[in-house]
Structure 1
Amino acid sequence: MNSAASILNNPFLNKGTAFTTAERQALGLVGTLPSHVQTLDEQATQAYAQYQSKANNLEKRLFLMTIFNENRTLFFKLMADHVVEFMPIVYDPTVADAIEEYSHLFTDPQNAAFISVDDPDSIEATLQNAADGRDIRLVVVTDAEGILGMGDWGVNGVDIAVGKLMVYTAAAGIDPAQVLPVSIDAGTNNQKLLDDPLYLGNHHRRMAGDDYLAIIDKFVTAERKLFPESLLHWEDFGRGNAQVILDKYQDQFLTFNDDIQGTGMVVLAGILGALNISHEAITDQKFVTFGAGTAGMGIANQILDELMRAGLSETEARSHFYAVDRQGLLFTDTPDLTAAQRPFTRDRSEFANADELTSLAAVVQTIHPTVLIGTSTQPGTFTEAIVKDMAAHTPRPIIFPLSNPTKLAEATAADLIKWTDGQALIATGIPAGDVDYQGTTYHIGQGNNALMYPGLGFGLIAATAKVLNGETLSAACHALGGLVDASEPGAAVLPPVGQLTTFSQKLAEIVAQSVLDQGLNKEPISDAKQAIAEMKWTPVYPENN
């Protein structure tokens, strides 16, 4: 039998003051808690009042993390009751502040696995210890080289994996006892961390190249051995490694890179939603991606796949893309191209003014794009002049300033509406309020990966998918893009985060059905909806502990 202390200190078992009198007798908890037995609703009311008393968002997040560390059911009950309010607190953008301060604010490992590249022989033991006998169905792993728009944050970045898994549970209903956050501590090139004596990660420069990829391979081997039924989700890896890793493993087992595929899927869904409003064809669009890192190229690949599904050849489809990075338009002879960038370069011979295409303004002026996507982390770069130039050449410009947190956004929704006289179709990377302009209220969709990955992942796991392929990705994008009412004046291009749990359920069912239709399920499943319903976890206390 578990001791009183072990039960009260186990967040998966602990009910706190909600343990009944009978449970307290049976579990040896008599006298270890105040006498009054609370309901989960009473605990949630009490905790929410405490949450509201906190002075700022970081303090609110720290308070919620304390509850998370003590009682998973209560935490997710609170999330379910306040999902719109809590999402930016437990995840982006407040998680950015938590990551910067992680080593200084550390109180609990949060059931994460901390893998060190300096101790490769302990990788399997690390995963086994962190799982502690739990049936792991979902692993989110990060090496934190490319955190949000913040860059390299070493072991501090484990908070991104923890936060991602919270959203999976809150939005889609995966059992929090079946998930595992993993940090791969490869060192850091962030000098501020290396100089900080309180930094909790390896105090050396990042491991790179073949040695690094060998560690990744060792991790994958151990993860597959221990958790063969799991979905392996890669998060915030650096631009030089993310695509390489995904390409190596995506056909071998069920795996997913949220920065490449998840971001691409949400953006494609937003574009499909925008085209439902403008009644234009995706094959008639010209795409400029500003910021040719992991996210920007992931978006381009997802749209490319959709163009080919719409009937274009690969060569025709690629001709619709213009990738812009710090040095301007990317050409075939641009130095130091990444593996993800090379397929989207242009030939200088295509342009009479090729040597002048060194800025976003010059590219927009020359190309006349219909779709402008920002993942640059360069604030304010979608200027009034650039936006007006774009709007002069297309009736309903699709403009997605996706960089986050807020201080890194390429433009605000309000400015984009004003500069295009209400014609722009917009999704932002951070939550944006409605914009009132000349008598119309414009609802702004958030290009938040949380709209996609929880439902996608849950559907894949419930359907026991062998792999994730383009067919299933496309099905999910069309489902999400079709959830908005395109006939409403000022309609958003994506559904609101407030309906996250509802449409995550629909997405999961569509994804599971796609897996079954293709015969990609490991286990015999006849009904996708039933498989989703049977696996869904809800935050209620079980009758008996």
Structure 2
Amino acid sequence: MPRRQYEVLPGSHGSRVRVQARGQDVLHDPRINRGTAFTHEERSALGLEGMLPVSITPLEAQESRALSRVRGARTMLDKFAYLQALRERNTVLFYRLLTDHIEEIMPIVYTPTIGEAIKEFSLWYQHMAGVFLSIDQVDRVEECLRNTGLTDGDVDILIVTDSEGILGIGDQGVGGIQICNGKKSLYTAAGGVDPDRMLAVVLDVGTDNLALLNDDLYMGLKKARVRDERYDEFVAAFVAAAGRVFPGAMIHWEDFGANNAHRLLHTYRDEVCSFNDDIQGTAAVVASAVLAGVKAKHEKLSEQRFVIHGAGTAGIGIADLLVDLMVKEGVTREEARTRFWMTSSRGLVTDDATLRFRDFQRPWARGVGELRDWELDQVGRYMLADIVRNTHPTVLIGTSGQPGSFSEAIVRDMAGHVERPIIMPLSNPTALAEATPAELLGWTDGRAMIATGSPFPAVTLGDVTYSIAQANNALVFPGIGLGVAVCKATRVTDAMIAASAEAVASLAQVRSPADPLLPRINDLRHVSAAVAIAVARVAADEGIASAPLTEPVQQVFDEMWQPVYPELILS
């Protein structure tokens, strides 16, 4: 019996499946298993009589029962564990539940709950879909990828991490495979990417997490994280092997540490089809919120002044994309860069040679000479409060991981010079947010236009209830992956990322101060389709689409996998 005991029939996008399995093998394969939803005729044909309760339960009733189980679970981790087990048991039911109730369930299968699940990975481990590659076995990378039973034409997206920069919790070793599977779930629920056409991969290069190294149950390499040339050789071996085994698949880089994320993206972006969600996805969704806010103020993007608190992977990516979008408005790249002030742990990024900034931060350094007349709290130190006081930003973005760093004094100072300040505390999880929406609205008398990284409830101030936009990458990356798959793009370009941001912004309806800056999470399938169409069109215009794009709307719609039980063709 082959590893896969079914075949999705060509052109059916999952709606028709030829099944070879019989008996218990059917119930053990999550893609074709439908449990008590099998009809009596299907049970007879598949050898399932006597293996299931006699009553037939349609998908809708199964979904209702599963939702009750989720809501009845005692803790968020219990909910996560149930949903993970459901995904491994019944693919269609899991994605039907997630798709229909995505606003409620996404925080369970993804951030913030997944962070806790990753910490408990070795303790909770039972079975995990994905590929574990070890730096101690570089010569076996290709063999490991081929052991999946998948090959050329079977995979659209490889979601890969080295687990160094997991969410806001840092180095988590092989537990990072969970973040890849979380992203995989959202690619399908939000973007309609076939769940069988993606693969989660963890690059195990050791860990500097001492708690893991001293944990007898830890399942990864028990050695310090490798950071020398062996690391680059390992990544290069993976990229090369992936190209041989899965030519054309997009590599989605996920939660790499700041020192490697930008470097690897720039190393491989012109060599293979690759995308870094922490850099490009975050940048796109934040830029979408900024574009929507600027449009609501009837202003231009190039007229704004930006302070980005946290010049790491996400912060630099946001600034890069905003500059690209300003250039589209007609300003020069050099002029656009003058609109930004970036902070690191040492304060404002400057050209002061005595301070050590990372290479990817240096293009954003402000000249010390231009700061001579600044009013400072402490001579020689240019901290966030000083930057806001002296630059009067119109947009304040937080990617610092420093909870409460958007203080009342800083926010009131900003709001004293801007009628409608755009403020985005983006750090995850919720406990790391630079400020809460309730605080920001209170300190600005309801004038702040807000997007957050974690989900926050609506805020009522006086007689107005404000809906809080969540700058969740799920608004962007599923559509990018879908668009790439539809047109078989050979690269992911800056223009494609910009198009995704503009597509999301075009769907935001900001008619009053109470309206959110971004589309609602419940609209993710609609948003992803719009993003996919925009991305595919740009790829075609740039000449990097391998498949003809003749009817983009229809092609994107046809490509989107639907969570319904397929027609079974027996063989």
From 19, 28, 33, the counterpart of 2:52: 33
State the SS of the aligned residue for 1:122: helix
2:364 corresponding residue in structure 1: 344
Matched, 1:465 2:494: no
Question: In the alignment, what sits opposite 2:135?
Answer: 117
Between stretches 448-457 and 465-474, larger displacement belongs to: 465-474
Amino acid at match of 2:368: R
Q: Which of 394, 407, 416 is 1:383 aligned to?
A: 407
Is contact 1:244-1:339 (8 Å) kept?
no
- Per-residue deviation, 1:30: 2.8
1:130 aligns with 2:148: yes
Q: Tell me the equivalent position of 1:163.
A: 182
Distance 2:248 2:92 in 1: 24
Report if the CA contact (8 A) 1:357-1:363 is conserved.
no
> Where does residue 225 of structure 1 map in the other structure?
244
Specify which structure has the bigger relative contact order, considering alpha-carbon pairs within 8 angstroms and separated by 6 or more residues. 2
Kindly provide the amino acid, as one letter, of the partner of residue 511 in structure 2.
S
2:294 to 275, 299, 315: 275
Q: How does 1:57-96 map to 2 (within 5 A)?
A: 57-96=76-115
Matches within 5 A, 1:55-454: 55-109=74-128, 111-132=129-150, 135-332=154-351, 333=353, 335-352=355-372, 353=374, 355-454=379-478
Partner Cα distance (2:228, 2:392) in 1: 39
Q: In 2, are the aligned partners of 1:239 and 1:338 still within 8 Å (CA)?
A: no
Offset at 1:131?
4.9
In 1, are the aligned partners of 2:160 and 2:252 still within 8 Å (CA)?
Answer: yes
Query: Which amino acid letter does the alignment assign opposite residue 455 of structure 2?
Result: P
Shift of 1:29: 2.5
TM-score with structure 2 length normalisation? 0.92
Question: What is the SS of the residue equivalent to 1:233?
Answer: strand
Letter in 1 for 2:356: D
**Contact 1:131 1:180 (C-alpha < 8 Å) held by counterparts:** no
**3-state SS of 1:544 partner:** strand
> What SS does the aligned partner of 1:152 have?
coil
2:556 matched residue in structure 1: 532
Q: Bigger shift: 491-500 or 13-22?
A: 13-22
Larger mean CA deviation between 269-278 and 22-31 belongs to 22-31
Among 15, 34, 49, the alignment partner of 2:68 is: 49
Cα distance, 1:132–1:22 mapped onto 2, change above 3 Å: farther
C-alpha displacement of 1:3: 4.8
- Please state whether the residue corresponding to 1:471 is helix, strand or coil: helix
The answer on whether the counterparts of 2:486 and 2:547 sit within 8 Å (CA) in structure 1 is: no
Instruction: State the distance in 2 between where 1:444 and 1:72 align.
Output: 32
1:426–1:445 Cα contact (<8 Å) kept: yes
Deviations 1:441-466 (A, max 9, x none): 22211111011111121112111112
Report the CA distance between 1:147 and its aligned residue: 0.6
Offset at residue 400 of structure 1 (A) = 0.4
Asked if the contact 2:288–2:504 (Cα under 8 Å) also holds between the matched residues in 1, the reply is: yes
Amino acid at match of 1:338: R
2:253 alignment partner, SS class? strand
**Relative to structure 2, which stretch is displaced further, 57-66 or 330-339?**
330-339
Question: Shift in Å at residue 511 of structure 1?
Answer: 1.8
SS at match of 1:288: strand
Give the Cα–Cα distance (whole angstroms) in 2 for the partners of residues 3 and 486 of structure 1.
54
1:542 corresponding residue in structure 2:
566
TM-score under structure 1 length normalisation: 0.97
Q: Distance in 2 between matches of 1:386 and 1:72?
A: 48
1:478 corresponds in structure 2 to: 502
Deviations 1:183-241 (A, max 9, x none): 11111111111111101111111111321011111101111111113121100000000
> Which secondary structure does the structure 2 equivalent of 1:85 belong to?
helix
Aligned to 1:519: 543
Instruction: Work out whether residues 161 and 235 of structure 1, in 8 Å CA contact, stay in contact via their aligned partners in 2.
Output: yes
1:489 Cα deviation (Å)? 3.9
In 2, Cα distance between the equivalents of 1:334 and 1:542?
A: 64
Calculate the aligned-residue CA RMSD, in Å: 1.6
* Stretch of structure 1 that moved more, 484-493 or 67-76: 484-493
Unpaired stretches in structure 1, ≥5 consecutive residues: none
Deviation of 1:248 after TM superposition, in Å, equals 0.9
Q: Shift in Å at residue 21 of structure 1?
A: 2.6
Alignment size in residue pairs: 544
Taking the aligned partners of 2:234 and 2:29, their CA distance within structure 1 comes to 31
| 3-state SS of paired residue (2:331) | coil
**1:427 is matched by which residue type in structure 2?**
A
Is residue 449–residue 513 contact of structure 2 (8 Å, CA) maintained in 1?
Answer: no
Query: SS where residue 151 of structure 1 aligns?
Result: coil
User: What residue identity is the alignment partner of 1:11?
Assistant: P
SS of 1:417 mapped into structure 2: helix
Q: Which amino acid aligns with 1:318?
A: R
Q: Is the 8 A contact 1:291 1:375 kept in 2?
A: yes
Deviations 1:469-492 (A, max 9, x none): 122222211111121223234221
Find the residue that maps to 1:356 and give its secondary structure.
coil
Residue in 1 aligned with 2:15? Answer: none
> Partners in 1 of 2:539 and 2:354 — Cα distance?
40
CA contact (8 A) 1:356 1:362 kept: no
- Please report how far the alpha carbon of residue 294 of structure 1 lies from its aligned counterpart in structure 2 after TM superposition: 0.8
Give the conservation status (yes or no) of the 8 Å contact 2:447–2:513.
Answer: no
| Shift in Å, 1:36 | 2.4
Worse-superposed segment, 361-370 or 516-525: 516-525
The superposition leaves residues 227-286 of structure 1 with CA deviations (integer Å, 9 ceiling, x where unpaired) of 113121100000000001000111223210000000011111110011011111111111
